[in-house]
Amino acid sequence: MNFLVGPVPASWQEMPLGKVCDVVAGPSNSMIRPFDADGVPVEVVAPKHLMYGRIAGSSTVLVAAKASAQLDRYRLVPGDLICVRTGDLGKQALAGPEHEGWVIGTACFRLRPEASVDPRYLLHYMRHPAVRDWIDRHASTATVPTLTLNTLRTMPVLVPPSAVQETIGDTMSALDDKVALHREIVEVAEQLRDSLLPLLLTNQSAP
């Protein structure tokens, strides 16, 4: 059968995202307004923290105790996906155990898959070119690319058997780990290059 990503086995299903995930838009800015020094610290994940399918850091915001309690609906648990809803819509990341209790930022969505959907599979599915194209086509581009909650909930999601999802998640996650390792090697090499050049020039013998 032909679905959003192309032909797939007839036994596979395609469902709206809202049928297989609890999708929540981030809180308003007023809910995470900084408080005084006696406030409750909250780790907030913004679009800038989503890099290469992973959460790279957060912003610590002190909020009032009442505001902290109101943010419970927006807190992360392991296996949640965070997606951008305003700006660079192609960025997603998967929350791990270390991110439990963190809060999604205003410009993000939180996707909590049901048991029938492997979170790692869903992360990589959303990075498929056809899915990214769907998001781009359904986003509002009046000023800044923006995806509404209702629109995202209608996004078609291919749901293959659990074993297939697990295989895709294992394979793509292993490749992501290798890419991350090579990216780290490149960054370290660039830092070494940049710090070594001034030393070499300083100690260079005069002709």
| DSSP conformation letters of 137-155 | HHSB-SSS-B--HHHHHT-
200 belongs to a structural domain:
no
The whole-number pLDDT of residue 205 equals 46
Could you tell me if residue 206 is inside a domain? no
* pLDDT score recorded for residue 101: 94
- CA angle in degrees (0–180, nearest 5) for 123-128-129: 145
Asked if residue 202 belongs to a domain, the reply is no
How confident is the chain (207 residues) per 10-residue block, as mean pLDDT?
86 94 93 79 93 88 87 95 92 94 95 96 94 93 88 96 93 82 79 82 61
Query: Other CB atoms closer than 10 Å to residue 48's CB: what's the count?
Result: 16
Please tell me whether residue 111 adopts helix, strand or coil conformation.
strand
| Burial grade of 102 (CB within 10 A; 0-12, 13-18, 19 or more) | buried
Q: Domain with 39 in it: what CATH number?
A: 3.90.220.20
Q: Which residue has the tokens 């390792």?
A: 181
Instruction: Determine if the pTM surpasses 0.85.
Output: no
Question: Which pLDDT does position 19 carry in this prediction?
Answer: 96
Q: Could you list the residue range(s) of the whole structural domain that residue 155 is in?
A: 2-160
Q: Is residue 145 part of a domain?
A: yes
Angle, CA of 192, 198 and 204, to the nearest 5°? 120
Structural domain count, the chain: 1
Q: Report the C-alpha gap between 48 and 105 in whole angstroms.
A: 10
Residue 43 lies in a domain: yes
- Does 152 fall in a domain? yes
